[in-house]
Amino acid sequence: MALAGDLDPTPERLVLQPPNLPAGETCQSIAASPDKALAAGTLPTSLNCRPDNMAFRNYVSELGFAIAPTANYPARTTGIGGIALTIEAAYTKVNSDGQSIGDDRSTTSYWRKGTQGSKDTGSNQFSRENTSPNSLLSVYTLKARKGLPFGFELVGALGTISGSSLWVVGADARWSLLEGFRSGALGVLPDFSVGGGVRTLTGTSKFHLTAVGFDVKASKPIPIADSATLTPHVGYQRLFIFGDSTITDFTPNTDALRECGYAGPDPRTGVPSCRNKLASGADNNVDFNNFATFDKVRVHRHRMMFGATYKYEILYVGGQFLIDATPPDSENYGLQSTRQWTLSLEGGVFF
C-alpha cells in the first residue's frame, strides 16, 4: 500500500453543510450522534452532508492542467527509425489559496481541503486540511519517442506527482506535415505538425481524471555548429479535462454499518435494516445518506506554448513555457479566473 503524501486527494473534505444545523454542530457530528438533531426538533436525515461541486470542479481543473500533455517538442519528429529517451520535469502554478463559491454562496479553499496535508508530529494524525499546499505542482515524467514513416511519431509517458502517491500515464501521436524539406521553396518554411495526447491519473480510487490535448506546432532548426542545432518552437493546444468522482463517503470517521447495527436489507424495500434505534424509535440509518458523487467535470481550456530545444550529437535538452491563452472561467462556469502556467524542462538522448 502506497504511503500517503501531502498532495494526495481528499475530496471527502469538500462538503457543503446543510442549513438549519443545531448550534455548534456539523453534518459530520450529526452523522455520529443523530439524536442531537432530534433534540433540536429536526430530522437527522434532513442534515446530510452535500458535495461541494464547485470546489471539486476547480480542484480537478487545476490538477488536470498540471498532468496534461505538455507537447514539449519541436514540429520535426525524430525521423524514420529515430528514438529519443528523455526525462521531463514540469512545474505548474496552482491556486493554492484559491477559493470556490458553492451553491449556498459559502467559500471553500479547495487545495487546502482537497489535499491530505502533513501529519501532526505529536498525534501522528492528519489534520483536517492541508495548511500549506505548495503553489507549484511538480510532475516528473519518463518519455520515449519513436519516429515512424511519413512524418509520424509516437510517444509513451510515465510520470509521478511529487509529494503524492499519484502516477500519470499516457501517450502522444503526431504528424509532421512538411518534414524532410531542406532546400527549395519549401525548405525555407518552418516545420509544421499536428498532434494529440492523453494523460490519465492513477494511484487514487476517489475519482477518475483524464486530460486530452490537441496541438499545432511550428519550429525551425538553426544549425549553430558542426553537430549542434537549436530549434525554437511555438504552438497552440486545445485542452479537454474529464473528471468523474466515485462514490464518496463524506463522513469517513463514522462507520454507517456500525452505527446502524446492520442486520441486512429489508426484504420488502431493500433499505438497510438496523438493530440500533434513534430516540424516536426509528432505525439509525442516518449515515447511509452521507454517500454521494460529485457532478461530472468537463472543462475546456486553451494553452499557448513557447519553447526551444538544443541537440548536440546524441544529447538533447529543451524547455517550454505553457500558459492559459484565455482565463479559465471564460468558457467554464464556476472556475477561478487566474490563469495557470507550466514550465517544462526536458533532457535525454536522441538516437
Domains of the chain with bracketed CATH? 11-245+295-350 (2.40.128)
pLDDT at 123 over 60: no
pLDDT at 245 over 90: yes
pLDDT category, 31, cuts 50, 70, 90? very high
pLDDT at position 5: 78
pLDDT category, 248, cuts 50, 70, 90? very high
pLDDT at position 119: 67
CA distance 275 to 297: 39
pLDDT at position 180: 62
Nearest to 171 by CA among 131, 204, 211: 211
pTM of the model: 0.92
pLDDT at position 304: 98
pLDDT at position 128: 80
Burial of 240 by CB count in 10 Å (0-12 exposed, 13-18 middle, 19+ buried)? middle
CA distance 70 to 343: 9
pLDDT at 82 over 60: yes
CA distance 259 to 283: 10
Q: What percent of the chain has pLDDT over 70?
A: 94
Mean pLDDT of the chain: 92
pLDDT at position 94: 97
pLDDT category, 329, cuts 50, 70, 90? very high
Q: What percent of the chain has pLDDT over 90?
A: 79
CA distance 290 to 92: 34
Q: State pLDDT tens for residues 294-317.
A: 999 999 999 999 999 999 999 999
pLDDT at position 117: 85
How is the chain split among helix, strand and coil, in percent rounded to 5?
15, 45, 40
CA distance 307 to 234: 6
CA distance 152 to 174: 6
Nearest to 248 by CA among 87, 33, 69, 55: 55
pLDDT at 194 over 70: yes
pLDDT at 276 over 50: yes
Q: Give the DSSP per-residue string, 274-334.
A: ESSB-TTSSB--GGGGGEE-PPPEEEEEEEEEEEEEEEETTEEEEEEEEEESS-GGGSSTT
Task: Check residues 173 and 190 and name the one with the higher pLDDT.
Answer: 173
pLDDT at position 126: 59
pLDDT at 2 over 60: no
CA distance 145 to 9: 31
Nearest to 294 by CA among 166, 210, 206: 206
pLDDT at 156 over 60: yes
Amino acid at position 153, single letter = E
pLDDT category, 1, cuts 50, 70, 90? very low
Task: Check residues 66 and 265 and name the one with the higher pLDDT.
Answer: 66
Q: What is the mean pLDDT of residues 254-261?
A: 94
